[in-house]
Amino acid sequence: MDDLEYLNPTIERMAKSELIKLQEERLRKLMTYLRDHSNFYKKLLKNEKIDFNDIKTLHDLKRLPFTSKQDFRDNYPTGMFCVPLDKLVRYHASSGTTGRPKIVGYTKNDIHEWSKSLARGLISLGIGKDDVIQNSYGYGLFTGGLGFHYGAEMIDATIIPTGAGGTERQITLMQDLESTVMTCTPSYFLHIAEIVESLGINLRKDTKLRAGVFGAEPWSEDMRQRIEDSTGIKAYDVYGTSELSGPLFTECIHQNGLHVWADQYIVEIINPTTGEVLDDGERGELVVTTLLKEALPLIRYRTGDITNIISEKCECGRTSPRIMRIHGRTDDMLIIRGINVFPSQVESVLLKIPELSENYQLIITRKHELDRMAIKIEVSKIYKKSEFLSIKKKIINDLRNVLNLSVDVELVEAGVIPRSMGKATRVIDKRKI
């Protein structure tokens, strides 16, 4: 395969009005499909007294009820599936921290469409057949590893399926097989970079690494700056969730929002409290309808992720809507003495202070009915006591100014906070224990 600018130029550059026509056509097909194959949605629509045949346009879509994470739990393991189980070619499962995992299943075509989403994204990042992609997302029930694996194969890139962990071996392979791209969580990449440095290897000179596609945990724009400045690679964001297939939408080289593949998915933003649909540009909860999925199609699935839609055409020529980098998850939002705080907001404040490293934890406690947030963060080098005090003071002041939150701060030396091979544990909420 030659290097491509687009995987599906017709779709990716389609005029907005045509794209909407295509979405509505596929929405009507989806309604017929669900009417014929989904016991779950048949019941749901009957309860709401809605006829599948009445849903014809994007405007009509707003009449449909939401699908939620709870529906996965209530219909565990495969009650929401629309195909006989022998039509499945694969299962994955979400890493539920509490209770049952969410089980997802795929037909052959579902895997093909999912791979296409990622292949389009990789191409939009200038990644192609000459690239060597070291895939350090976990392989297994988690969707990250196999998701990227199939996407990378579709564009004829060479993939090294290292999975997460074995950091020194990762570095050896990166050098010996000349990896150009890494895919993993941003925190794991930072850990790898740290070990690289301790081994006296210079990532810029001694490796061919030029880009990373990072996701599966929330990370801030300031974290991106840190990664790019300290390692010299381009750091790109990817979004997805196992219920919708896995990793799906990536940024393009312009790093200005993640491209939603509108021929496969319809996105909406709602007010998470009232369910009201918000205008493009307004921040709220991302809701996604799948247009082409066979095994587990979803109508208006509430992802719990907070973002906004960017509707203007991107510089790369793609016409699909984009979503902003995820601001946080409704599940992750902390309420500290009545103030709503997303951990990513705290991260942004911390990483603007150059004396601090990217390794931190937020520890929430409750004493005498009063919530308290303590920040434990590593400093980037050893400082004098007076410097220590002024760094501490700066953190406290900045967080008070930006978030109106008063915190306790503990500065620790490098290496104290545990490193993660997958999703980093940034928040320890002792109120829940």
Instruction: Kindly report the backbone phi and psi dihedral angles of residue 39, in degrees, each rounded to the nearest multiple of 5, phi listed first.
Output: -65, -35
CB atoms within 10 A of CB 316: 18
**Residue span binding Zn ion (CB under 5 A) among the ranges 30-38, 248-256, 282-290, 324-332:** 248-256
Q: How far is the CB of 222 from Zn ion (least distance, A)?
A: 22
Going by C-beta distance under 8 Å and a sequence separation of 6 or more, which residues neighbour residue 283? 269, 306, 307, 308, 324, 327
**Residue span binding Zn ion (CB under 5 A) among the ranges 83-91, 245-253, 285-293, 373-381:** 245-253
Q: How far is the CB of 254 from Zn ion (least distance, A)?
A: 5
CB atoms within 10 A of CB 85: 10
Residue 324 near Zn ion by CB under 5 A: no
> Tokens 């949605």 appear where?
41
Of 123 and 269, CB closest to Zn ion: 123
Q: Using CA atoms, how far apart are residues 341 and 333, in angstroms rounded to an integer?
A: 6
Torsion of CA 142, 148, 149, 150, to 10 degrees: 110
Residue 45 near Zn ion by CB under 5 A: no
Q: How far is the CB of 313 from Zn ion (least distance, A)?
A: 9
Instruction: Kindly report the backbone phi and psi dihedral angles of residue 290, in degrees, each rounded to the nearest multiple of 5, phi listed first.
Output: -90, 135
**Nearest C-alpha neighbor of 263 from the set 1, 30, 2:** 30
User: How many CA atoms lie less than 13 Å away from 326 in the CB half-sphere?
Assistant: 28
> Degrees (nearest 5) of the Cα angle 353, 167, 420?
50
Q: How far is the CB of 315 from Zn ion (least distance, A)?
A: 6
Of 26 and 322, CB closest to Zn ion: 322
Q: How far is the CB of 114 from Zn ion (least distance, A)?
A: 20
Q: How far is the CB of 322 from Zn ion (least distance, A)?
A: 7
Determine the size of the site formed for Zn ion (CB under 5 A): 5
Q: Of these, 252, 349, 405, 407, which contacts Zn ion (CB under 5 A)?
A: 252
Residue 262 near Zn ion by CB under 5 A: no
**Residue span binding Zn ion (CB under 5 A) among the ranges 7-15, 18-26, 90-98, 313-321:** 313-321
Q: How far is the CB of 256 from Zn ion (least distance, A)?
A: 7
Strand partners, 337: none
Of 302 and 322, CB closest to Zn ion: 322
Q: Using CA atoms, how far apart are residues 407 and 76, in angstroms rounded to an integer?
A: 41
Q: How far is the CB of 252 from Zn ion (least distance, A)?
A: 3
**Residue span binding Zn ion (CB under 5 A) among the ranges 59-67, 69-77, 147-155, 306-314:** 306-314
Alpha helices in 65-107 (DSSP H): 69-74
Q: Of these, 31, 262, 287, 314, which contacts Zn ion (CB under 5 A)?
A: 314
Determine if residue 271 is left, alpha or beta; phi over 0 gives left, psi from -120 to 50 gives alpha, anything else beta: beta
**Nearest C-alpha neighbor of 245 from the set 29, 76, 91, 376:** 91
Residue 190 near Zn ion by CB under 5 A: no
Of 51 and 315, CB closest to Zn ion: 315
The DSSP-derived string for 316-344 is TS--S-EEPPP-EEGGG-EEETTEEE-HH
**Nearest C-alpha neighbor of 143 from the set 212, 95, 179, 101:** 95
Of 192 and 314, CB closest to Zn ion: 314
Of 142 and 236, CB closest to Zn ion: 236
Of 12 and 294, CB closest to Zn ion: 12
Residue 184 near Zn ion by CB under 5 A: no
**Nearest C-alpha neighbor of 110 from the set 89, 84, 81, 80:** 89
**Residue span binding Zn ion (CB under 5 A) among the ranges 42-50, 67-75, 152-160, 316-324:** 316-324
Q: Using CA atoms, how far apart are residues 40 and 385, in angstroms rounded to an integer?
A: 62
**Residue span binding Zn ion (CB under 5 A) among the ranges 137-145, 186-194, 254-262, 346-354:** 254-262
**Residue span binding Zn ion (CB under 5 A) among the ranges 132-140, 172-180, 244-252, 409-417:** 244-252
Of 251 and 358, CB closest to Zn ion: 251
Residue 316 near Zn ion by CB under 5 A: yes
Q: How far is the CB of 259 from Zn ion (least distance, A)?
A: 6
Q: How far is the CB of 258 from Zn ion (least distance, A)?
A: 9
The DSSP-derived string for 153-192 is HHTT-EEE---S--HHHHHHHHHHTT--EEEE-HHHHHHH
For residue 93, what are its two tokens? 């499962």
Of 254 and 337, CB closest to Zn ion: 254
**Nearest C-alpha neighbor of 241 from the set 112, 329, 143:** 143
Q: How far is the CB of 250 from Zn ion (least distance, A)?
A: 10
**407-412 and 370-379 as β-strands: parallel, antiparallel, unpaired?**
parallel
**Residue span binding Zn ion (CB under 5 A) among the ranges 173-181, 239-247, 249-257, 409-417:** 249-257
Give contact residues for Zn ion (rule: CB under 5 A): 252, 254, 314, 316, 318
